[in-house]
């Protein structure tokens, strides 16, 4: 038993494809009614619920008579466009039975990368919640490309959790939770009932790919919990086949795996920086710069940069990478790619000589940098 979820007011619930479709063949209306019933009960008791739901492509495939998931991006987009109609129609019908309205919100990474659009999305969602409307969120698969896609709805759920400062993320799947090893291969594997989000050992425990219907495996859920924890949200990973799983979790029952967030959380602006899945460029740092950023909370100076990759302008979000390839931090860079390349490895006192004009002494100021 735990009280960590019982005190959560604003909650993001993610349901996977296997929990809303008939083995990938269209929507399971009975399952959708079940989720609507539980969410309506939570809403009535004062909780604010945002639902991240898969199922659009599976529904589109069923409507189009396709039995095999296509691989061509435009066919996937077409299936999503057709399937979104059925998904939202079904959810709206289910929630209307409880005198609630649903709202469709489709997002791409670009919506959360641009600061103004990020704030607009946040304002829209918080307004919907204040009106007791249930936002139904999905990736905008009708326009998404490989360069901007979230890749899985576990990650999307974590990003939405951070976007709206939710207290908890509940990831419902067809798995019981996280085990110490793959229980299909290791009979002695045990369920991890409680852990700390971001614990590296959890990633080692997580298995590989998920079902043929969805894209997310257990690892994506562990990484989503790590991301959600940056804004202070706890994450529960549980089987959606458990009876009244949402109601029981919010009543404090121990079901599946609960990954708790550390006490320290990121400020909203730094959270936005941390949540960039794609960056405009990369700066490779020497060991001294890595230590200064990670251990001493200092700014990144040009002298600590070994090499520069990508094409970016001043003010772009770039990744800071150690010599072994580990992504250490994200930050807003003070110079464009050409300028950064000239300055790399040089002292700040040489900036005017190298560029022909003065500039910031830092490549990235610590106020515009977040260590991951």
Q: How many other C-beta atoms are found inside a 10 Å radius of the C-beta of residue 336?
A: 17
Distance CA 215, CA 153 (A): 8
The domain segmentation of the chain, as residue ranges, is: 10-270, 279-371
Angle (deg, nearest 10), helices 153-163 and 218-229: 10
Q: How far apart are CA 10 and CA 55, in angstroms?
A: 23
Per-residue pLDDT of the chain (372 residues), as tens digits, is 456 788 899 999 999 888 998 876 789 999 999 999 999 999 999 999 999 998 888 899 999 999 888 888 889 889 889 999 999 999 999 999 999 999 999 988 778 888 888 889 999 999 999 999 999 998 876 676 665 566 678 989 999 999 998 999 999 998 899 888 877 788 888 999 999 998 888 888 875 444 433 444 788 899 999 989 988 899 999 999 999 999 999 999 999 999 999 876 777 778 888 888 788 899 999 999 999 999 998 999 999 999 999 999 888 899 999 999 999 999 999 999 999 999 999 999 999 999 988 888 999 998 889 998
For domain 10-270, give the fold: Carbamate kinase (3.40.1160)
pTM: 0.78
The two tokens of residue 295 are 């251990």
pLDDT of residue 330: 93
User: Per DSSP, which regions of 23-108 are E strands?
Assistant: 48-53, 102-107
The CATH architecture of the domain made up of 279-371 is Roll (2.30)
CA–CA separation, 216 and 160 (whole Å):
17
105 near 137, Cβ under 8 Å? yes
Query: What does residue 181 show for φ and ψ, rounded to 5 degrees?
Result: -160, 175
Full strand arrangement of the beta sheet holding 305-309: 305-309, 281-285, 317-321, 327-332, 369-371
- Same fold yes or no, 10-270 and 279-371: no
What pLDDT shows up at residue 142?
67
CB 79 within 8 A of CB 138: no
Distance CA 369, CA 269 (A): 10
Question: How many Å apart are CA 215 and CA 209, to the nearest integer?
Answer: 7
- DSSP state at residue 268: H
- Which pLDDT score is estimated for 209? 42
Quote the CA–CA distance of 62 and 81 in Å, as a whole number.
13
* Whole-number pLDDT of residue 344: 95
* Residue 332 bridge partners (DSSP): 317
Parallel, antiparallel or unpaired: strands 10-15 and 102-107: unpaired
Cα–Cα distance, 80 to 148 (Å, whole number): 16
* pLDDT reported for residue 335: 93
Strands 134-139 and 194-196: unpaired
**Which phi and psi angles does 49 have, rounded to 5°?**
-115, 130
Per-residue confidence (pLDDT) for residue 272, from 0 to 100: 81
Please tell me the predicted confidence (pLDDT) of residue 151.
61
pLDDT of the residue at 268: 72
Burial class of 267 by CB neighbour count within 10 A (0 to 12, 13 to 18, 19+): exposed
């Amino acid at each position: 038993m735990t009280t960590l979820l019982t005190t959560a007011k604003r909650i993001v619930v993610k349901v996977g494809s296997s929990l809303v479709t008939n083995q990938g063949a269209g929507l399971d209306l009975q399952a959708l009614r079940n989720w609507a019933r539980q969410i309506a009960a939570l809403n009535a008791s004062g909780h604010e619920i945002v639902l991240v739901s898969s199922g659009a492509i599976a529904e589109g495939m069923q409507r189009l008579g396709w039995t095999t998931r296509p691989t061509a991006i435009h066919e996937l987009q077409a299936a999503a466009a057709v399937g979104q109609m059925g998904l939202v129609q079904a959810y709206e019908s289910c929630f209307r039975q409880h005198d609630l309205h649903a709202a469709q919100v489709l997002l791409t990474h670009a919506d959360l990368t641009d600061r103004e659009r990020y704030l607009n999305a946040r304002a829209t969602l918080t307004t919907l919640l204040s009106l007791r409307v249930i936002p139904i969120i999905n990736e905008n698969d009708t326009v998404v490309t490989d360069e901007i896609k979230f890749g899985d709805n576990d990650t999307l759920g974590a990003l939405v959790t951070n976007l709206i400062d939710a207290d908890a993320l509940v990831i419902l799947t067809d798995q019981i939770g996280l085990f110490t090893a793959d229980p299909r291969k290791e009979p002695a594997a045990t369920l991890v009932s409680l852990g700390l989000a971001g614990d590296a050992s959890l990633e080692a425990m997580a298995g590989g790919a998920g079902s043929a219907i969805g894209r997310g495996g257990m690892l994506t859920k562990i990484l989503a919990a790590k991301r959600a924890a940056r804004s202070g949200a706890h994450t529960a990973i549980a089987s959606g086949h458990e009876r009244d799983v949402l109601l029981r979790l919010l009543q404090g029952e121990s079901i599946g795996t609960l990954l708790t967030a550390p006490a320290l959380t990121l400020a909203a602006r730094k959270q936005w920086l941390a949540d960039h899945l794609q960056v405009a460029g990369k700066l490779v740092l020497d060991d001294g710069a890595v230590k200064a950023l990670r251990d001493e909370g200092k700014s990144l100076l040009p002298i600590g940069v070994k090499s520069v990759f990508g094409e970016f302008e001043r003010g772009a979000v770039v990744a800071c990478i150690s010599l072994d390839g580990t992504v250490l931090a994200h930050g807003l860079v003070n110079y464009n790619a050409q300028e950064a390349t000239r300055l790399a490895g040089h002292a700040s006192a040489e900036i005017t000589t190298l560029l022909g004009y003065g500039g910031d002494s830092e490549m990235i100021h610590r106020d515009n940098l977040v260590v991951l």
